[in-house]
Amino acid sequence: MATSKHDPFASPDRLRPLISTEEIQKRCRELGAQISADYRGSDLLLVSVLKGGFIFLADLVRHITIPMELDFMRVRSYGSRTESSGVVEITADLTGPVEGKRVLFVEDIVDTGLTMTYLMRNIATRHPVDVKVCSLLYKPERKLVDVPIAYLGFTIPNQFVVGYGLDYDEKYRNLPYIATMDDEPPG
């Protein structure tokens, strides 16, 4: 969908850096080390939720130093461009069973928590050893349901963010850092 010229986020000069590339890389190193220690000797399966989680996954796995597998799920969350409704459809599923494996979801952001709650429940019915979540970002002010985030990158304020995989209307995923977007000035 094309953004209109009245779109509050259409202009790149409304991007405000929030978390730098360096800060993200440092956190990826720390989380990778922690995950490697915690899952040593386990049958670890990382599950990335597309599309938003793809850059975080790619950086994180390069800091995981134990044998692991990875797979992808793709979901569609119904709602407006900036609000999820909690109605989630799995549009691409895992390629194999998770029975006997320890599943670690790798997400870009837990916002209301509705998407991750749905996915954790869905995977739990498939008899994994356990299911945990690693999320780059968490917006506590938006929480509707509690999601236990075992590995968290950053807690952020209640602002819409883009970059490092996160989009607004499919744009800005390629920014190498996380930015907030200012609303259109009044008048």
Residue 24 to residue 150: CA distance in whole angstroms:
17
**Smallest gap from residue 143 Cβ to ligand IMP (A):** 9
Is 55 in contact with 24 (CB distance < 8 Å)? no
Instruction: Answer yes or no: are the C-beta atoms of 44 and 60 closer than 8 Å.
Output: no
Among this protein's residues, is 111 annotated catalytic?
Answer: yes
Judged by CB under 6 A, does residue 55 bind ligand IMP?
no
Residues 110-139 that bind ligand IMP (CB under 6 A): 110-115
Q: Kindly write out the interface string for residues 157-176 of this chain, putting x where it contacts ligand IMP by CB under 6 A and - elsewhere.
A: ---xxx---x----------
Q: Residue 125, Cβ neighbours under 10 Å: how many?
A: 8
| 74 strand-pairing partners | 50, 92
The smaller minimum CB distance to ligand IMP, of residues 48 and 84, is found at 84
Chain residues 63-82 in contact with ligand IMP, contact rule CB under 6 A: 77
3 versus 77: smaller Cβ distance to ligand IMP = 77
The span from the CA of 146 to the CA of 34, in Å, is 23
Among residues 3 and 36, whose Cβ is nearest to ligand IMP?
3
Q: For residues 87 and 77, give the distance between their C-alpha atoms in angstroms, rounded to a whole number.
A: 6
Q: How far is the CB of 112 from ligand IMP (least distance, A)?
A: 3
* Class of residue 38 by CB neighbours under 10 A (exposed 0-12, middle 13-18, buried 19+): middle
Query: Cβ of residue 26: shortest distance to ligand IMP, in angstroms?
Result: 21
Active site amino acids: 111
Residues lying near ligand IMP in the complex (CB under 6 A) are found at 52, 77, 84, 107-115, 160-162, 166
